[in-house]
Amino acid sequence: MNRNRFIYKCTDCGREYNGGEKMYLCPSCSEANTASEPPAGVLNILYDYPGVRKKYPGFDGLKKSGFIDLLPIASVDSLPPLRVGHTPLYTLNSVGGEKADFILHLKDDSQNPTWSFKDRASALVSAYARENGLETIVTASTGNAGSSLAGICASQGQRAVVIVPEKAPLAKLTQIIMYGATLVPVRGTYDEAFDLSIRASSEFGWYNRNTAYNPLTIEGKKTVSFELYDQLKYAVPDRIFVPVGDGVIISAIYKGFEDLLMLNIIDRMPVIVAVQSEKSDNLVRNLPLKNFSVISSSTLADSISVDIPRNFLMTRRYIQKYGGETVTVTDEEILGASSLLSRTTGLFAEPAASAAFAGLLSYRRDNRIRKNSDNVVMLTGSGLKDLKAVSGIIRMPEPIHASIDELKHLFQ
């Protein structure tokens, strides 16, 4: 291992690269990549696991260190001053107000600084840029990654450039602008914004935060696995329901638990369920197929609306290796899950996050959840991120005069 305690390893060809260098995709495998298929050559980051085991015999020591020996940065002091991670885990014995015979845990990552899970990735990318003198960071985004990068960079005094499809939700675009980032809307899809950001990185020398392109994004997001293990009192949950678009969040959760497996801290992987909308199921649908095929995405859950899932190949390997599961849900089920979650728990999640809860509801209907089992639902973003998506299921009441008689009439 090098002085930074890690190496890059290609998930496709297995080649290893020095962790002291800035890298995105495997130079060898990425040469043949095309715009019509998920890219090959996504890099995984590996650590000196025997050395870490010797240094920290148990989880307590790792936790006290801020997990620095499992992160590709030199110091936790390089991380932003905002509180990223350490989000609540709510434990319930009911679902939708009805008593359940299993345990439900809701991991509320909307409590991150910019109200989404994406802050975990942005924080680590920002820290790496700070340590390596990289002043401008660019990303393509449907909204959450962009607002996340913008907010994190604002806290670190860095410049953020965010390229988005022009139809991204207004709330997320507002965040980006308010944080002082440069917002670049494009007349096209997320995939076109993604490709433009990569060309911009090459042209201007900007550091690229794109998920499934920059391997540090997975390392930042994997920290949620460490938190779950800690919050569950050093236990591994039975199932984790994860909303899936590009496949980076689910791969990161696998990676976090895999790190703990490599350190002999845990002895099994949880069953991780990839949840997608039926209107954007390009990852789940292609898992058993030999040749990748694309169906244009049209789900209202914009954060998981992806035609070409960039982290498809890594996600498929993790699901196959560890016996992961998949489920698709309708947009109507996603909206219903969002409403039910809000009314019965007080947690208002955006549609992409509510998809994970819809996946759990689907499993429950089909009697696929074992009695007394521990089940985690990843709530990855706030409902305030996309009010337009839920406008069709709410009715704003008409105003009344400030009269007690009219008020009484409402409750008769």
Domain boundary residue among 176, 198, 215? 215
Asked if residue 41 belongs to a domain, the reply is yes
Do 30 and 55 belong to one domain?
yes
Residues 134 and 61 in one domain: no
Domain membership of residue 410 (yes or no) is no
CA distance 238 to 372: 10
- Position 328 in a domain: yes
Average pLDDT, the chain: 94
Q: With b meaning 16 or more CB within 10 Å and e meaning fewer, what string describes 272-302?
A: bbbbbbbbbbbbbbbeeeeebebeebebbbb
On whether residue 402 sits in a domain, the answer given is no
Tens of pLDDT, residue by residue over 256-304, are 999 999 999 999 999 999 999 999 999 999 999 999 999 999 999 988 9
Domain extent at residue 135: 113-215
What is the tens place of the pLDDT at every residue in 125-145? 999 999 999 999 999 998 889
pLDDT at residue 354 greater than cutoff 50: yes
| Cα–Cα distances in angstroms (integers) from residue 336 to residues 143, 377, 393, in the given order | 23, 16, 9
Distance CA 356, CA 347 (A): 13
CATH code, 187? 3.40.50.1100
Q: Does 251 lie in the same domain as 171?
A: no
Note whether residue 408 is domain-resident.
no
> With 80 as the cut, is the pLDDT of residue 4 above it?
no
* Same domain for 152 and 231: no
Q: What is the 3-class SS of 151-162, one letter each residue?
A: HHHHHHCCEEEE
User: pLDDT-derived band of residue 46, with 50, 70 and 90 as boundaries?
Assistant: very high
Number of compact structural domains in the chain: 3
Q: Same domain, yes or no, for 62 and 98?
A: no
Considering the domain architecture, whether residues 95 and 144 belong to the same structural domain is answered as no
Confidence band of 190 (pLDDT split at 50, 70, 90): confident
Average pLDDT over residues 45-52: 96
Of 8-17, 41-50, 149-158, 392-401, the range with the lowest mean pLDDT is 392-401
Do residues 227 and 200 share a domain? Answer: no
pLDDT tens for residues 362-394? Answer: 999 999 999 999 999 999 999 988 787 888 888
226 and 349 in a single domain? The answer is yes
User: In the predicted model, is pLDDT for residue 1 greater than 70?
Assistant: no
Name the more confident of 169 and 55.
Answer: 55
Please say which residue of 215, 243, 267 terminates a domain. Answer: 215
Task: Let me know whether 192 and 205 are in one domain.
Answer: yes
Q: Which among 71, 248, 227 has a CA at the least distance from the CA of 144?
A: 248
Contact of 298 with 304, CB cutoff 8 Å: no
Looking at residue 267, what is its pLDDT?
97
User: Does 149 map to a domain?
Assistant: yes
Let me know whether 280 and 306 are in one domain: yes
